[in-house]
Amino acid sequence: MIDLHSHTHFSDGDLAPSDLIARASKLGLEYLAITDHDSVSAFQSLSRNNAKRTETSPLLTISGLDGGLISGLEVSCQWEGLEIHVLGLFVDVNNPVLTDLLTKQQERRRQRAIAIDLKLQRNGITGLSAYLGTLPCDAISRSHMADFLVEQGHSKNKQHAFTKWLGRKGKAYVVADWCEFGEAITAIHEAGGIASMAHPDRYTLSRPRFRRMVADFCDAGGDAMEVSYSNLNPGSLGHLADLCEQHGLWATAGSDFHSPSHHWMDLGKIRMMPAACRDRAIWHHPVWQQHIGKLPALVSTAVEPSGA
* Cβ atoms 216, 181 nearer than 8 A: yes
Q: Which domain range does residue 85 map to? A: 2-97+181-291
Q: Are residues 79 and 6 in the same domain?
A: yes
24-53 in b/e burial notation, b at 16+ Cβ within 10 A?
Answer: bbebebbbbbbbbbbbbbbbeebbeeeeeb
Distance, in Å, from the CA atom of 288 to the CA atom of 91, rounded to the nearest integer, reads 11
Mapped onto helix, strand or coil, the DSSP state of residue 76 is: strand
CA 231 to chain centroid = 15
Q: How far, rounded to the nearest angstrom, does the alpha carbon of residue 296 sit from its chain's CA centroid?
A: 21
Burial of 151 (0-12, 13-18, 19+ CB in 10 A): exposed
Overall pTM surpassing 0.85 (yes/no): yes
Q: Spell out a b/e string for 290-300, using b for 16 or more CB atoms within 10 Å of the CB, else e.
A: eebeeebeebe
Cα angle, residue 276 at apex, residues 273 and 278 outer, rounded to 5°: 45
CATH number for 114: 1.10.150
Number of domains in the chain: 2
pLDDT for position 107: 96
pLDDT at site 308: 31
pLDDT of residue 277: 85
pLDDT at residue number 298:
54
Judgement on whether residues 62 and 157 belong to the same structural domain of the protein: no
Let me know if 116 is exposed, middle or buried by CB neighbors in 10 A (0-12, 13-18, 19+): buried
Separation of first and last alpha carbons in the chain: 14
Helices 96-122 and 181-190, packing angle to 10 deg = 140
36-90: pLDDT as tens digits: 999 999 999 998 866 565 567 899 998 889 899 999 999 999 999 999 999 999 9
Pairing of strands 68-79, 59-60: antiparallel
Low-confidence ranges of the chain (pLDDT < 50): 299-308
Residue 90 per-residue DSSP state: S
Q: Do 85 and 34 share a domain, yes or no? A: yes
Say whether both 56 and 185 belong to one domain. yes
CA torsion 50-89-25-272 (nearest 10°) is: -160
77 & 185 share domain: yes
pLDDT of residue 270: 87
Q: What is the CATH number of the domain that holds 236?
A: 3.20.20.140
Are 93 and 106 in the same domain? no
The pLDDT assigned to 234 comes to 78
